[in-house]
Structure 1
Amino acid sequence: MQMMKKRARKITGALLAVALFTLSAIPVGAAKLPGASYSPVQLEAVQSKKMTYYKNGSASIPNTLDWITDASALKFLPLSVIGDVTSVVLDKEGVYWIGTQNGLQRVDFNASDTKDIVQYMAGPRYLYGGDNHVTGLASDEAGGIWARTASGVTHIAMPEQTMHEKSFIYEDLVQTILDRRGMVHGTSFTFTDTDNTTDAVNYNSATGVFNSTPTTSDNDGLWTTMYAMGEVFRYKALQEQYGTNPTSEQVAEINDAKAAALRATKAVLLLDYVSGRGNGFPVRSYMLTSEATAATVGNTVYGYQSTNGFWFQNFVGPDKNNPNGIIPSMQRDDGVEPIGYSMVRVTKDAENKKGSTLFPSGGTDVMNYNGLGLSQASIDELNLTRPEGQKLGIDIKTIVETTESGPVYQVLPVITAATNNSTAKEDKTTSETNKPLFQLTAPVYEQIPDFFNDLFPSSVIVDGHIDMNQIVYKADTSSDEVIGHYAMFYTAFKYLVGDSNDPELLELKSFIEETTHRMTELILKDDHYYIEDATGKSTQWSRWLGKYFNDSLSTMEKQKQWEFSVGVDKDGNDALSYGYEDAPLNALEVMGVLKTASFVTEKRYPADSLKYEMAYEQAFASSYSKEDPYVNGLGYIDMALEYVERRIVRQATNAYSDNGNEVVTMDNAGDSTNANATLHNDWTQYINYSDEELGWFPVFILVTLEQDELRHAKIVEAYDQWYSNEVREENPFYTFLYQLAHPDKTDVDLQSAVRFLYRFPEFQIEFPVEWDRQDVFYIEPGDRDKAKQTNYALAPDERRIIKHNSNPFANESQSTGVNPNYNYRTGSIEAGSVFTLPYWMGRYFEIIKE
C-alpha cells in the first residue's frame, strides 16, 4: 500500500545532504539545435481549475453563498436562444459563468487564446455526480465559481499557477502512489482527508491523503520510459537553467530530478534482466509472488492465474531441475549451465492464443501464426525427452482452426486434459492434483544483477541477492515495449550519463551498454529481425522482417484493382500481409533500434557497433524487397515514406472486401465509414492512434542522432506524414518533436501546444466525460474505434483521460448519467507523464521557457 499526503514543497537538510552532483562542467546556454530559427514560447502563470466536491446536504457547504438562479446577467445573447439557461453570474473580472440544463460554461471575451473564450464543464469532474442540470451559481469573488445541482455543489477555484508549479503535483503523485518499484503507470486509488471539520472532497487539500496499491500493466516499460525521459530532461534543463550558482532549493530540486530519472531508468533496464534468460529478452512486466495479482488457484504454478497474459514463474536453485528440455533457440553454446528454469503459468493466453495468419503465402504452418504455438524445432527438441504416448504434436496438441481440409493443430504453452486434441479454450480446473499435460519452460541462466537491489523491499533480498523465486514475469513482448526500451537507452545514455564521472551514473552506463548490445543481438540473431520468445518463434508483435511487411506485394501490384489502392491476389481476394500497414512504423522502429545500438555500443563493443551502423545504413541503400528472397532491413526508409499510402491501401482493401469484392465507387459505396473515407481518400479515418504514439519514439531518436543531411531529410519527410494528422491534435508531445525535426521553421503552432499544457488537468482521474454537447460538431466514426468524433480537438480538461494511445477525437459514450452518490474518494488515476515529458523536453530544447 502506498500513500500520498498533499504537502507544500519544502527543502530539508536531508535533501541538501544528498546534493552530491557538481555544476562546474554545465554548459550554460549551450545550443541544442544548431541553426534553430524559432523563438521559445514564454510560459505564463494561468488560471487552473481546482475542484472541491460537496454532496447534497453537506454541512460543509458555506451558508453565506449568494446563489443566483436567473439569467438576467446574460446580455450578449438574445432571450430566444437561451431557453436552457438556468443561472448566470458575471464576476468582477468580466467573466460570464452560465449554468444550463446541460452543463456549465465559462465565457471570457478577454481570454488570451480565442479557443479559451468558451470553456465547457460537465460530468462528475466538474458537476457533482455528473448532474449537469445547474440550479444555481455563486461567485467566489476570486475568479472561481460555486455550482449547485440537485445532487450537490462543486467549488471550481481558478487560481493562477505556473506550469513548473503544476509539474510538482505530477511528481508527488508518482513518487508516492504511482511508483511500483520504479515503474510508473496508472493505478486505482482511495482518497481520505484527515481534516475532520469537513466532509468535502478536495484533492488539493493539504490534509488530503491518496492511497494506492499499484499493479502490473501491459507495457510497464513503455509507460515508465515516458516518465523517465521526462525526468532526464527535467534534470538536464534544471542543471543548465539554474546555472553554476543555484540556490539550496534549486540544488535539491535538481537532485530530486536526478534521483527520479535514475530510478525510472533502472526500472526499465530491470525488465531486460528479470527473466534470467541472459540473451537480452525484454519482458513486458513482472510481479512478485506476494502481489495479489500474481495469485493462482491453490497458489501453485499449476493453478489458474486470472491476470491474463503469457506469464512465467522462476524456479532457481541447485535443486531446481527443468522438467522439460531446452529448446534450440534458448540453448547457450558458451558452456554456461542454467541455474534454474521458469515455467509458464496457466492463463487464458497460454491456453488459447492461437494468433492470426501472417503471410498470404504461408499456409497453416505454425510459423505463419502470430500466436503462442511452439515452433516445430522446439517441439522436436522437447520430444527427445518425452516418453511414448506423451509426444507433443502427436499425442498432445490442440485444435486452433478448422479448414476445408480438416483441423489445424498447434502445441500451445499450456495443454490440459480438457484442451488436448480439442479446440483451444480456457481451462480453469487445473491444480496440484490435476496438472496440465504440458507446461512450457524456459532456462534461467543468470541471477538478476545486484545493481537493481534497491528497487525491491528487503523481503525480496536473500543473501544479498534478489530472490528470483519471487519473480513472475510477462513475456510475449510487443514492439511497443521494445522501442520504448531503446528510446530510454538512448536518452539516458546521452542526456543523463553523458560525460559524467559520477560512479552511480557510470555503473548505469555500463548496464545500458550491455543491455542494448544483448537485445540488438537478439533481434539480429540469424538475421531474423524479431524478438524470439520461449516458443521458439517471434512474439506476437515484435517483428521487423521484410516478408512480414511485403508478402504478396509483387502479386498485388500486377492486379487491376491496385490502380484503386486495393491489394488482392489474382482471384480477387485480400492479399495484404498481416504486417503490411505496420511497415512504415516498424521500419522507423528498427532504424531507431540500430541507430541507438550503434551509438550506445561504440566504445564498449566497437565491432558490433560498426555492424549495427552498417545494418542501419542498409535502410538507405536501395529499395525494399517485394518478393523472395526478402532482405531484412534493405530500403526500409522507403517503407517509412509510405505511411499515408499504406493506410489508404488497407482502408480501400477493407472497403472492397465489405463491398462484395467490388472496388468502391460513388454508385455502389453504400453508407459504410470505410467506403466513404475511401471515396474521399480520407486516410485519417483509419488511423491507429496507438501507432502515432509509438512512432514518436524512433523519430525522436533519429532526428536528434542522425547527422547526415540527406538521411536526416528522409527521416523528417517520413515524420511529416504522421504529423499531417497529429497537427490537428494540438498536442505538445507531437508538436515539439515536429519543431525538433524542423528547427528552421518559425511557423509551427507552438502556442496551441502550450495551451494543451495550460489546460491539462492536475489530477489525471478517469472521470466519465459528458459528450452530449451542443457546442461541438460531430463527424462520422473512425473505422478502427467505431465511435463518432469531434471535428476538432477538445481541450484536455474537457475530454477523457488518455495516454496518446487512443483517438483524442472519439466520443466513446463516457457519460454515465446522474449519480448523486458518486464516490469521489475512489477511482483510477493516470501518471502525468503526458504532461511532464513534453514539458521538460520543451524546456531542455528551449522550445518553451518559464
Structure 2
Amino acid sequence: MMKRNGVKITGALLALSLFVLPATTVLAEKLPGAGYSPVQLEAVQTKEMTYYKTGSASIPGTLEWVTGTAALKFLPLSVTGDVTSVVLDGGVYWIGTETGLQRVDFGASDTKDIVQYMAGPRYLYGGDDHVTGLASDGKGGIWVRTASGVTHIAMPEKTLHDKSFIYEDLVESILDRRGMVHGAGFTFTETDSTLDAVNYNSKTGVFTSTPTTSDNDGLWTAMYAMGEIFRYKALQEQYGASPASGEQAEIADARAAALRATKAVLLLDYVSGRGNGFPARSYMLTSEASAATVGNSVYGYQSQNGFWFQNFVGPDMTNPNGIIPSMQRNDGVETIGYSMVRVTKDAENKKGSTLFPSGGTDVLNYNGLGLSQAAIDELNLTRPEGQKLGIDIKTRVGTTVTGAVYQVLPVITAATNNNDAKEDKTTGINNKPLFQLTAPVYEQIPEFFNDLFPDSAIVDGHIDMNQIVYKADTSADEVDGHYAMFYTAYKYLVGDSTDPELLELKSLIEETTHRMTELILKDDHYYIEDATGKSTQWSRWFAKYFNDSLGVMEQQVQWQSKIGVDEKGDDALSYGYEDGPLNALQVMAALKSASYIVAASYPADSAKYELAYEQAFAGSYSKEEPYINGKGYMAMAQDYIERRLVRQATNAYSENDNQPVTMDNAGDGTNTNATLHNDWTQYINYSDEELGWFPVFILVTLEQDAGRHAQIVAAYDQWYSNEVREENPFYTFLYQLAHPDKTDVDLQSAVRFLYRFPEFQIEFPVQWDRQDVLYIEPGDRDDYKQTNYALAPDERRIIKHNSNPFENDSQTTGANPGYNYHTGSIEAGSVFTLPYWLGRYFEIIKE
C-alpha cells in the first residue's frame, strides 16, 4: 500500500536517522561565481483522475451535467461545431468536444498553460474522446462523461516535494528489484469494496508488480540513485542541524534509498566474478521466471534474449573449455568456477555489422558476438581433432566474392554448424550445443551486497553465485551511468563521512572504478572486453572506430558538401563516426572521475588516468593510421553538430543515387529536406542526448582548469542548442551548472515541465487528433510526424529522456468501454526525481 503525505516513521528508521545525521549542517559545495537566483517553487494544481465505468454505482447521483455550449463566448460559431458541452468555473473554461477535453484559463501564470488538452484513456474513460457532458466538482476540477464511462479530474494544489513522494512510494512498492529501479508491469487493486472505480491516489488502493530485468538496469538505476543522493544532501541542508522527527525520518529514508540503489549498480561490477571490473548489463536469479530455460538446463534455450552467462562455482565445477588469454590471471589467483553462455537468439546468430570502411575480414571488424582469433586459438588448445573452432565448428554469417564468411559465435549447435546463423531452440541436456563459450570466475560477490538478496540466495554467508545469471555485452550506456553514479556517490553520498557502512561503500567504489578503468585502458585498447576476446558491441572509445578512412574522405570533392565517401564515391563513414563526440566525452569523464576517486587508494594510477585525460586536450585527433587513442578527443567532442550534418548529408546522398542533394535534384529521401536546410535537429539521436548528460555533469562539476572547463562547456552548448526547445529540467539545470554566471537561462519553462509531469508514469495510449499544434515531417530516426514544439509532459506519451519528445505517435484505436485500468505498464519517476533533487541541491530551484 502506498504511503501518503510524507514518509512512514518507524522506530528503526528513526533510530537510523539519528545515527547518520551530522553534528552540524554540512554545507553543499555550491558553484563558485553563480549569478542565477533560485526559482521559488509553489504549490500548483495537479491532475488526479478517478475512472468510473458506465453504470458504476459510485458515480455521484447529485452531479449536474451540462450538455450545452452557451458559456463559450470567446470563439466564433464557425470553429465550435464539434463542441458538445462547456462549463465556466471560476474563470476557467472546460470545453468538451467530439475529440477530447480542453481546459482554457486566460489567467494562467504561464501562457503555455492557457490551453490544456486531455484525451485518450489517461483522461477520458477507455479513450472514448466524445464528451457527452461536464459537471463542475466545485473545487477546480471537472467530471467528464462519455458513452463509455465517467472520469473525475480533480485539481488539488501540490508542491513538487509533495509529488516526489508518489514516485518514491512506487519505487518502494513495485519498481524495486533488489535495488534496481526501472519501469514494470503493474496490477492495481482497490481494497475498499464499496468503491466501484479506479483511483491511483486512493488511500486504500494497492499496487503490485513483479519487476523484471531490463536492457540497461545499471543506467536507469544510476539515474535513480543520483537523484536519491541529491535528495539526501538537499534535505540535510534544508532541515539543518536539529531536524524534527519527521524530517529526520525523511533524511534517513533518502539515505537508505540512495545507498540501496548505489549498491545495486555497484553489484553489477561483481556479479560475473571475473575480478577485472567487467560491468554486467543486468543479472537475474535462476528462480526468476525470465531466467527459465527449456528443460531448466544451461543447454536449453532461454527466451529472454541477449548475451547471458550462468555461473557455476564450487570445488566440483570444471570448465569444459579453456580460458582465453585476455581473461587469464598471472597473479596466482585461481579460478573458483566458470560461467557458461546461455543459448539465446543473440548468442547463436549476432554476427554484427562491419565497423571499418578500410575493410578487413577479421572478426574484430564486426560489432557482433563473434570470437577474436586469439580466443579461438587458445580454446583450440584444449579441443580434440575434429572439434576445432573455426575449422570444424563454425557458423556461416555471409558470403563475399571469395566465398562464404564464417565466424565462431558463442553458441554453435548441430543445426548451425557450417550452416547459416539462425535461432535454434532444440538444444537441451540430450542435445547439447557443439560449442558454448565460457568465462572464468575468480571471486565471490562481496558480503556487502548480501542485504540486496533474499535469504534463499545466501549460502554459508555468501551470495550463491550458482543462482546468478548475468547479462554481458555491456553497452557504453551502462558504463556512462556507472561512472556518473560512482562519482556522485563518492563525492556527495560518502564525502568525508566516518559511517562504517559508507566507508565500506567508498572502498568498493574505489576498487571498482580502478578495475573498470584498467579494463578500458588495458593494452591501450580503449574498450570493455568481453569473454569473446574483443570489445563488447557498443563499449568502444578507440580512435579508429570513430575516424577510420576520415583522411581519405576529406580528400574527396564531396566532402565540401559534408558528404563522406571514398574514391569510388561510396559511403565511407565508419560505424562509429557519429558516436565520436559523445564517446569522447564519455571516456574523458571516465578518466577524470577515476583520477579523482582513486587518488588516495591508487595514487600512481590516478596520475596515469589524469595524464590520459590531459591527452584529450592535446591538439587534433587521429584521422589515419596509426590512430592514437584518446589524443585530441576534446576537439572531437566539439564536432557534434558537424558530424550529425555529415551523417545526414551522406544518407541523403545515398538515397539520391549517389548525388549531392540540391534544390534542383532533391528526391523524397528521409534526410533530403533537413540536408537542404542544414537542419541537424532532424537527425537527433535522443538516446545520445540522455547519455551525453552524464559525462558532461562529471566534467563541468569536476574540471577546475578554466580553459579546459570552457572547452567542455562549448561542447555541451552544441547539444543544448537542440535540448533548449525540449524545456526539460534534466538538460536545462545542467546547462545552468555549466553556465553558473548566466542569469537568462529559461528555468521557468523547466520548472513548468516538473509541474506538468504526471504523478503516475503509466503508459497510456496517446490520442493525437489535435488541431491546436503544427506538425513537421518525421525525423530521420522516427516514423511519425513531429510537433513543432514540445508539448507538456502530461499531454504526450510517457518516455524516458531517450526518446523523441516531439514525435506524434498516435496510439489509440478508439473508444474501449472495457479498458482495464487495473493493469498496465508504469515507468519509474527518475526522470523527475533526478533533475528535481539536483536542482534543489544546487539551489537552482527552491521549495
Give TM class, smaller chain: over 0.9
CA distance in 2, matches of 1:369, 1:528: 16
CA distance in 1, matches of 2:589, 2:29: 24
Name the structure 1 match of 2:477: 480
CA distance in 2, matches of 1:561, 1:465: 61
CA distance in 2, matches of 1:771, 1:610: 55
Name the structure 2 match of 1:219: 216
Name the structure 2 match of 1:278: 275
User: Do 1:338 and 1:445's aligned partners in 2 also have CA atoms closer than 8 Å?
Assistant: yes
**TM alignment of 1:706-785, pairs within 5 A:** 706-785=703-782
Indicate whether 1:346 and 2:307 are aligned: no
Q: Classify the secondary structure of the residue corresponding to 1:809.
A: coil
CA distance in 1, matches of 2:382, 2:144: 73
What one-letter code is carried by the residue in structure 1 that aligns with 2:25? I
What one-letter code is carried by the residue in structure 2 that aligns with 1:78? P
CA distance in 2, matches of 1:496, 1:217: 26
What one-letter code is carried by the residue in structure 1 that aligns with 2:115? V
* Structure 1 range deviating more: 784-793 or 137-146: 784-793
How far residue 5 of structure 1 moved from its aligned partner, in angstroms, is 6.8
Indicate whether 1:671 and 2:671 are aligned: no
What one-letter code is carried by the residue in structure 2 that aligns with 1:607? A
Indicate whether 1:188 and 2:177 are aligned: no
CA distance in 2, matches of 1:385, 1:10: 59
**TM alignment of 1:520-539, pairs within 5 A:** 520-539=517-536
CA distance in 1, matches of 2:21, 2:729: 32
Q: Classify the secondary structure of the residue corresponding to 1:209.
A: strand
Name the structure 2 match of 1:255: 252
CA distance in 2, matches of 1:363, 1:675: 32
Task: Give me the TM-score of the superposition, normalised by structure 1.
Answer: 0.99
What one-letter code is carried by the residue in structure 2 that aligns with 1:535? T
CA distance in 2, matches of 1:656, 1:208: 57
CA distance in 2, matches of 1:564, 1:633: 28
How far residue 27 of structure 1 moved from its aligned partner, in angstroms, is 3.4
What one-letter code is carried by the residue in structure 1 that aligns with 2:432? K
Q: Which runs of 5+ in 2 are unaligned?
A: none
**Structure 1 segments (4+ residues) deviating >4 Å:** 3-8
What one-letter code is carried by the residue in structure 2 that aligns with 1:767? F
**Alignment equivalent of 1:82, drawn from 80, 83, 89:** 80
Deviations, residues 616-657 of structure 1 (Å, cap 9, x unaligned)? 000001211110000000000000000000000000000001
What one-letter code is carried by the residue in structure 1 that aligns with 2:669? S
**TM alignment of 1:391-402, pairs within 5 A:** 391-402=388-399
CA distance in 1, matches of 2:282, 2:486: 17
Indicate whether 1:67 and 2:47 are aligned: no
**Alignment equivalent of 1:500, drawn from 497, 503, 528:** 497
Name the structure 1 match of 2:685: 688
Indicate whether 1:519 and 2:516 are aligned: yes
Name the structure 1 match of 2:20: 21
Deviations, residues 662-682 of structure 1 (Å, cap 9, x unaligned)? 111111112223011100000
CA distance in 2, matches of 1:551, 1:283: 29
How far residue 556 of structure 1 moved from its aligned partner, in angstroms, is 0.2
CA distance in 2, matches of 1:362, 1:693: 32
How far residue 241 of structure 1 moved from its aligned partner, in angstroms, is 1.2
Deviations, residues 110-134 of structure 1 (Å, cap 9, x unaligned)? 0000000000000000000000000
User: Do 2:5 and 2:162's aligned partners in 1 also have CA atoms closer than 8 Å?
Assistant: no
Deviations, residues 225-256 of structure 1 (Å, cap 9, x unaligned)? 00000000000000011111211111110000
Deviations, residues 424-448 of structure 1 (Å, cap 9, x unaligned)? 0100010110110000000000000
Q: Could you say if the C-alpha distance between residues 527 and 654 of structure 1 is closer, same or farther in structure 2, counting changes exceeding 3 Å?
A: same
User: Do 2:656 and 2:669's aligned partners in 1 also have CA atoms closer than 8 Å?
Assistant: no
Q: Classify the secondary structure of the residue corresponding to 2:332.
A: coil
What one-letter code is carried by the residue in structure 2 that aligns with 1:101? E
User: Do 1:4 and 1:177's aligned partners in 2 also have CA atoms closer than 8 Å?
Assistant: no
Name the structure 2 match of 1:383: 380
**TM alignment of 1:105-124, pairs within 5 A:** 105-124=102-121
CA distance in 1, matches of 2:539, 2:515: 16
CA distance in 1, matches of 2:331, 2:158: 59
How far residue 22 of structure 1 moved from its aligned partner, in angstroms, is 3.0
User: Do 2:339 and 2:439's aligned partners in 1 also have CA atoms closer than 8 Å?
Assistant: yes
CA distance in 1, matches of 2:342, 2:416: 15
Name the structure 2 match of 1:148: 145
Indicate whether 1:819 and 2:792 are aligned: no
CA distance in 2, matches of 1:812, 1:309: 28
Name the structure 1 match of 2:161: 164
What one-letter code is carried by the residue in structure 1 that aligns with 2:479? V
Q: Report the count of equivalent residues.
A: 846
What one-letter code is carried by the residue in structure 1 that aligns with 2:719? W
Name the structure 2 match of 1:457: 454
How far residue 405 of structure 1 moved from its aligned partner, in angstroms, is 1.8
Q: Classify the secondary structure of the residue corresponding to 1:265.
A: helix
User: Do 1:188 and 1:829's aligned partners in 2 also have CA atoms closer than 8 Å?
Assistant: yes
User: Do 2:766 and 2:809's aligned partners in 1 also have CA atoms closer than 8 Å?
Assistant: no
Q: Could you say if the C-alpha distance between residues 5 and 191 of structure 1 is closer, same or farther in structure 2, counting changes exceeding 3 Å?
A: farther
Indicate whether 1:104 and 2:101 are aligned: yes
Q: Could you say if the C-alpha distance between residues 426 and 6 of structure 1 is closer, same or farther in structure 2, counting changes exceeding 3 Å?
A: farther
Sequence identity percentage: 83
User: Do 2:763 and 2:797's aligned partners in 1 also have CA atoms closer than 8 Å?
Assistant: yes
What one-letter code is carried by the residue in structure 1 that aligns with 2:637? A
CA distance in 2, matches of 1:10, 1:285: 31
How far residue 8 of structure 1 moved from its aligned partner, in angstroms, is 6.2
User: Do 1:6 and 1:208's aligned partners in 2 also have CA atoms closer than 8 Å?
Assistant: no
**TM alignment of 1:543-622, pairs within 5 A:** 543-622=540-619
Name the structure 2 match of 1:12: 10
**TM alignment of 1:348-427, pairs within 5 A:** 348-427=345-424
CA distance in 1, matches of 2:696, 2:6: 38
CA distance in 2, matches of 1:828, 1:27: 40
How far residue 104 of structure 1 moved from its aligned partner, in angstroms, is 0.1
Indicate whether 1:129 and 2:126 are aligned: yes
CA distance in 2, matches of 1:672, 1:44: 48
User: Do 2:2 and 2:203's aligned partners in 1 also have CA atoms closer than 8 Å?
Assistant: no
CA distance in 2, matches of 1:25, 1:460: 40
User: Do 1:232 and 1:261's aligned partners in 2 also have CA atoms closer than 8 Å?
Assistant: yes
What one-letter code is carried by the residue in structure 1 that aligns with 2:590? V
CA distance in 1, matches of 2:428, 2:608: 49
CA distance in 2, matches of 1:362, 1:593: 30
Q: Classify the secondary structure of the residue corresponding to 1:539.
A: strand
**Alignment equivalent of 1:328, drawn from 316, 325, 328:** 325
What one-letter code is carried by the residue in structure 1 that aligns with 2:692? G
Name the structure 1 match of 2:53: 55
Deviations, residues 307-330 of structure 1 (Å, cap 9, x unaligned)? 000000000000000000000111
Task: Give me the TM-score of the superposition, normalised by structure 2.
Answer: 0.99
User: Do 1:6 and 1:205's aligned partners in 2 also have CA atoms closer than 8 Å?
Assistant: no
Q: Classify the secondary structure of the residue corresponding to 1:18.
A: helix
CA distance in 2, matches of 1:663, 1:786: 24
CA distance in 1, matches of 2:20, 2:236: 10
Q: Classify the secondary structure of the residue corresponding to 2:616.
A: helix
What one-letter code is carried by the residue in structure 1 that aligns with 2:131? V
* Structure 1 range deviating more: 783-792 or 557-566: 783-792
How far residue 473 of structure 1 moved from its aligned partner, in angstroms, is 0.2
User: Do 1:7 and 1:206's aligned partners in 2 also have CA atoms closer than 8 Å?
Assistant: no
CA distance in 1, matches of 2:280, 2:29: 37
User: Do 1:4 and 1:211's aligned partners in 2 also have CA atoms closer than 8 Å?
Assistant: no
CA distance in 1, matches of 2:419, 2:836: 54
Name the structure 1 match of 2:468: 471
CA distance in 1, matches of 2:438, 2:461: 27
How far residue 102 of structure 1 moved from its aligned partner, in angstroms, is 0.3
Q: Classify the secondary structure of the residue corresponding to 1:282.
A: coil
